[in-house]
């Protein structure tokens, strides 16, 4: 599905970039520096600081003052979609630019990335545009997402029972850019991913904010289905290139090994662990899948069973598997991996329980403060 003849941009549309968390904080500097180094198109920036460690918080405060962007810090951990909504509310109430770009905090961008996204949206009338998203290091080498197909179809059984099934297929995943140069062109599709996604601000007047019950997974599928249902269109502008520094699906690993001889894990620091554990908690993953199922009235078929089986997979890839390789001098040991996974699962539940307690305490303190303020205001009125 390729685009029609391009029409020139007659006025320069305005853009706000909303940066929020992916899964950790250790890539903050690299990501932010790449935005200011490689973005020629004028933009405003809103950075949502999801309760980062003190040294990251201090860095962001210094950068916000130096570069003049809006920095919003949360009092406790929130999910990526909740963080996007923090930025989106600011855009809708304060900035009101033509486009909002959701960018995760582990993404580095190539020159002209934003110009290409805006050109695509203006020339096609697209509601949502995503770039060619690569993965791993070296940057801009192996494709993670180049758009994809997603749709719901109705399966009518012989007894007349109707089942709604969700299907999804990514384009060019795991392929080296150098091997698919002839396919690096603008493509209409059904979805792009939240690593980097640009949307017309006006669409949120129509569909509302992002669904905050999509806590940890499939948020991009939910939004793109909603936009398509509302009559919008989605494009992947493959000449706009960004790279996410995260672990990927099996096809990504295969492509990275073929191109570079090995897969390099993301740079992970111990201060990343608390948010990473909550972000990829069993509870958030499971709640997201259940909400997607119920919201779209979907049958719990192989699509969901595959994802249920993969719950905790990010933690295994980044924490357990590297530890097993280290302990066994690269030989691996299924029993040890299984044992450590069971231990890690208990650790994950501990981190999540601790997060819930911290959140409850902070919300209680905020409520008490609001009560004090309200009582004080009432006394002043009486006086």
pLDDT band at residue 266 under the 50/70/90 scheme = confident
Contact 333, 189 (CB under 8 A): no
Contact 233, 262 (CB under 8 A): no
* Residue 10, pLDDT score: 54
| CA dist., res. 165 & res. 301, Å (int) | 7
Question: Is the CA virtual torsion 199, 205, 206, 210 positive or negative?
Answer: positive
pLDDT band at residue 383 under the 50/70/90 scheme = low
Taking residues 303-321, report their average pLDDT. 93
Bridge partners, 134 (sequence order):
143, 243
Checking if the pLDDT of 195 tops 60, the result is yes
Give residue-wise pLDDT tens across range 145-155: 999 999 999 98
- Kindly state the percentage of the chain with pLDDT values over 70: 92
Select from 193, 7, 49, 38 the least CA-distant residue to 111. Answer: 38
Checking if the pLDDT of 257 tops 90, the result is no
**Distance of alpha carbon 43 from its chain centroid, rounded?**
20
Token couple for 340: 């450590």
pLDDT band at residue 342 under the 50/70/90 scheme = very high
| CA dist., res. 34 & res. 109, Å (int) | 6
Please compute, for residue 185, the number of CA atoms within 13 A of its CA located in the half-sphere on the CB side.
7
Please name the residues in contact with 152: beta carbons below 8 A apart, sequence gap of 6 or more: 164, 165, 166, 167, 225, 296, 298
Taking residues 175-200, report their average pLDDT. 96
User: Which pTM value belongs to this model?
Assistant: 0.92
Contact 123, 137 (CB under 8 A): no
Class of 15-255 per CATH? alpha beta
Better-predicted residue by pLDDT, 200 or 268: 200
- CA distances 250 to 46, 207, 247, 327, Å, are 33, 34, 9, 23
Backbone phi, then psi, for 188, in 5-degree steps?
-80, 140
* Residue 92, pLDDT score: 97
| CA dist., res. 286 & res. 217, Å (int) | 9
| CA dist., res. 147 & res. 65, Å (int) | 36
Domain ranges of the chain: 15-255, 272-372
Checking if the pLDDT of 262 tops 90, the result is no
Q: Please state, rounded to an integer, the average pLDDT across all residues of the chain.
A: 92
Radius of gyration of the chain (CA): 22
Checking if the pLDDT of 298 tops 50, the result is yes
* Residue 159, pLDDT score: 73
pLDDT band at residue 357 under the 50/70/90 scheme = very high
* Residue 250, pLDDT score: 63
- Kindly state the percentage of the chain with pLDDT values over 90: 80
Checking if the pLDDT of 382 tops 90, the result is no
Cβ neighbours of 340 (radius 10 Å):
19
pLDDT band at residue 310 under the 50/70/90 scheme = very high
Checking if the pLDDT of 196 tops 80, the result is yes
* Residue 253, pLDDT score: 66
Cβ neighbours of 21 (radius 10 Å):
26
The vertex-235 CA angle with 231 and 240, nearest 5°, equals: 150
pLDDT band at residue 7 under the 50/70/90 scheme = very low
* Residue 156, pLDDT score: 84
Give residue-wise pLDDT tens across range 11-26: 799 999 999 999 999 9
Cα end-to-end span (Å), the chain:
69
| CA dist., res. 268 & res. 238, Å (int) | 29
Angle between helices 54-67 and 28-38 (to 10 degrees): 10
Contact 236, 306 (CB under 8 A): no
Select from 50, 38, 110, 100 the least CA-distant residue to 75. Answer: 50
């Amino acid at each position: 599905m390729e685009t029609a003849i391009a029409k020139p941009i007659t006025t320069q549309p305005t853009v706000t970039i909303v940066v929020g968390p992916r899964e950790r904080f250790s890539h903050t500097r690299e990501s932010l520096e790449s935005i200011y180094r490689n973005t020629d198109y004028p933009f405003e920036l809103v950075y949502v600081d999801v309760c980062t460690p003190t040294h990251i918080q201090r860095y962001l405060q210094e950068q916000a003052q130096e570069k003049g962007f809006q920095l919003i810090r949360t009092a406790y951990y929130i999910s990526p979609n909740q963080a996007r909504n923090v930025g989106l509310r600011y855009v809708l109430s304060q900035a009101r630019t033509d486009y909002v770009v959701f960018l995760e905090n582990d993404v580095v961008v190539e020159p002209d990335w934003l110009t290409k996204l805006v050109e695509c949206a203006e020339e096609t009338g697209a509601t949502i545009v995503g770039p060619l998203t690569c993965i791993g290091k070296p940057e801009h080498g192996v494709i993670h997402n180049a758009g994809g197909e997603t749709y719901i179809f109705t399966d009518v059984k012989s007894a007349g029972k109707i089942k709604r099934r969700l299907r999804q297929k990514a384009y060019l995943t795991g392929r080296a850019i150098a091997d698919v140069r002839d396919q690096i062109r603008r493509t209409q599709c059904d979805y792009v991913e939240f690593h980097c996604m640009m949307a017309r601000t006006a669409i949120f007047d129509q569909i509302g904010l992002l669904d905050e019950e999509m806590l940890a997974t499939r948020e991009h599928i939910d939004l793109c289905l909603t936009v398509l249902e509302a009559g919008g269109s989605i494009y992947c502008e493959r000449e706009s290139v960004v790279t996410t520094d995260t672990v990927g699906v099996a096809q990504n690993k295969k492509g990275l090994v073929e191109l570079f001889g090995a897969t390099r894990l993301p740079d992970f620091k111990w201060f990343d662990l608390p948010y990473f554990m909550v972000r990829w908690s069993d509870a958030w993953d499971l709640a997201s899948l259940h909400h997607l199922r119920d919201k779209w009235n979907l049958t719990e078929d192989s699509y969901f069973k595959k994802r249920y089986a993969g719950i905790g997979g990010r933690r295994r890839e980044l924490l357990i598997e590297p530890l097993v390789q280290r302990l066994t001098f690269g030989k691996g040991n299924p029993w040890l991996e299984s044992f450590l996974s069971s231990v890690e699962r208990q650790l994950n539940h501990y981190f999540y329980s601790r997060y819930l307690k911290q959140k409850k305490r902070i919300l209680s303190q905020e409520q008490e403060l609001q009560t004090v303020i309200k009582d004080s205001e009432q006394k002043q009125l009486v006086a």
